[in-house]
Amino acid sequence: MFDFSCLQISSLLERLVSAIGDAAGSALGRVVEAIRTLFEGDPETRRQVSFSVAIIALSAKMAKADGIVTEAEVRAFQQIFDFPDEEARNVARLYNLARQDVAGYEAYATKLSGLCSSGAVENCPMLESVVDGLFHIAKADGLVHEKELLFLGRIAEIFRITDDHFRRIMARHVHLDGRDPYLVLGVSPEDDFAAIRKQYRLLVSEHHPDRLIARGVPATLHAAAHERMAALNAAYEAIEKERRAA
């Protein structure tokens, strides 16, 4: 889902890991300071490293949100964060530092919120993809815990994702009473099919991977965009089938 190799910064993570050392108690401060000093003269590299580290940290802290990091959640992280084999040790080091507790996650989320490539004030597509990835981790053990939902809700708030938009994101992942295709599309069962089709086409236009590429959304998030498109298509097809049957 998040293609680490596309960032082309694999050698930089090793420098970063070496700089922060082994003191987990001050991991956040060490990471922020290391990024600032190591890449001070290269703002674009600093941005890319900050993005990668924030994704690693939030993924680890998402897994820790309910108090226990399970093997399923670690595997889910590995599924959404694609990195070269030679960087496994460095990524694991950062992940293990971050997963020791939940503390500091808001600082990482705030850092990410300032990296929205589209410049959107609310509901940034890039940050929506990050939330999708975190939901992927949260549901890896078969249940999204209440504390995980609170964690995700706070992340969405920091990302300036509106309440209605967050409910739509959540509907793609959490459906205790069955998947609600109307909520996924942000429409009502009372809407006529023409209005539903119009909304669906608007969402497809806004979230199509090619459109996101044109907006400068990092390649690290393109797989998340494909997954989101699949959810939108499935919701529309479910409503279309229901209306035809009626």
Nearest to 4 by CA among 210, 216, 225, 219: 219
Cα torsion at 169, 121, 103, 28 (round to 10°)?
130
Query: How many structural domains is the chain composed of?
Result: 1
What is the reported pTM? 0.75
Domain that holds residue 184: 4-245
Query: What gap in Å lies between CA 145 and CA 160, rounded to an integer?
Result: 22
Query: What gap in Å lies between CA 156 and CA 227, rounded to an integer?
Result: 19
Contacts of 236 (CB under 8 A, 6+ apart): 181, 185, 196, 197, 200
Q: Which residues of the chain have pLDDT under 50?
A: 1, 3-10, 23-26
Nearest to 206 by CA among 136, 123, 115: 123
Q: How many CA atoms lie within 13 A of 217 on its CB side?
A: 27
Place of tokens 């300032």: 114
Q: Given this model, what pLDDT does residue 160 score?
A: 95
Q: Given this model, what pLDDT does residue 45 score?
A: 67
Query: What gap in Å lies between CA 242 and CA 238, rounded to an integer?
Result: 6
